[in-house]
């Protein structure tokens, strides 16, 4: 989800490393991407309050299959969407910078980590690859949702690869591999390869679903 008026601002000109709260989740957040989160554990309620009070980011890292990724993305709380009587809340977060974990700390109720912010290489990508990536994104989006993907906004130093991977239900292992790549050209090339392989699978699934619906068996 990419809010129409959200613009990504890098903190790399301000700092190369920092200690931030860490929020392990079974998701991958990209710089420039907005994600709503439901906060219910007491330690993360405290983390949310601390980040709001200090107007500081926290880090989201992928925790999957018992493993925690070493590359994550910092996130700022954009707004509180809803507060519940029992202390839970729904918040909207926006991805800021990719980082690499250096070490973790457990002095507070929630985990903190020293992180190194990573530079992005936006050296001009191959125009054919970029065009092909947009085409594949729209083709996949049409099969999944019946319409083209939202247009890519070029302002703000946003990665096209991040945008495409955010608009499609790309599995977490692929999303994590994209986050770990620093070159935008390489990210786009990697994603074109993935979507080229994935699109025929979506076509086959859509064809089977259509046949099942036509035979009165309902959708898959």
Q: What is the 3-state secondary structure (H, E, C) of 30-86?
A: CCCCEEEEEECCHHHHHHHHHHHHHCCCEEEEEEECCEECCEEEEEEEEEEEEECCC
For residue 176, name the pLDDT band (cuts at 50, 70, 90): very high
Query: Strand, coil or helix: what is 28?
Result: coil
pLDDT in tens, 84-110: 999 999 999 999 999 999 999 999 999
pLDDT in tens, 68-80: 999 999 999 999 9
pLDDT in tens, 120-157: 998 877 899 999 999 999 999 999 999 999 988 766 56
pLDDT of residue 5: 38
Record the pTM. 0.85
CA distances from 154 to 8, 146, 158, 187 (A): 11, 24, 7, 16
> What single-letter DSSP state applies at residue 27?
S
**Domains, the chain, ordered by start:** 17-117 (2.30.130.40), 127-214 (no CATH)
């Amino acid at each position: 989800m990419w809010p129409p008026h959200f613009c990504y601002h890098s903190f790399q000109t301000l700092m190369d490393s920092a200690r931030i709260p860490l929020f392990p989740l079974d998701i991958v957040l990209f710089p420039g991407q907005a994600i709503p989160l439901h906060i219910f554990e007491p330690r993360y309620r405290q983390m949310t309050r601390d980040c709001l009070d200090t107007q500081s980011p926290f880090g989201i890292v992928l925790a999957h299959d018992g493993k925690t990724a070493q590359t994550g993305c910092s996130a700022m709380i954009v707004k509180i969407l809803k507060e519940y009587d029992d202390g839970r809340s729904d918040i909207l977060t926006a991805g800021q910078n990719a980082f690499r974990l250096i070490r973790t700390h457990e002095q507070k109720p929630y985990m903190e980590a020293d992180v190194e912010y990573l530079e992005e290489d936006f050296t001009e990508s191959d125009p054919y690859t970029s065009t092909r990536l947009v085409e594949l994104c729209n083709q996949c989006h049409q099969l999944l949702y019946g319409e083209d993907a939202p247009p890519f906004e070029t302002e703000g130093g946003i990665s096209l690869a991040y945008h495409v991977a955010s608009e499609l239900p790309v599995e977490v292992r692929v999303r994590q591999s994209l986050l770990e790549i620093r070159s935008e050209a390489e990210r786009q090339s990697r994603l074109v390869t993935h979507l080229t392989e994935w699109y025929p699978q979506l076509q086959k699934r859509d064809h089977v679903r259509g046949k099942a619906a036509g035979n009165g068996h309902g959708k898959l």
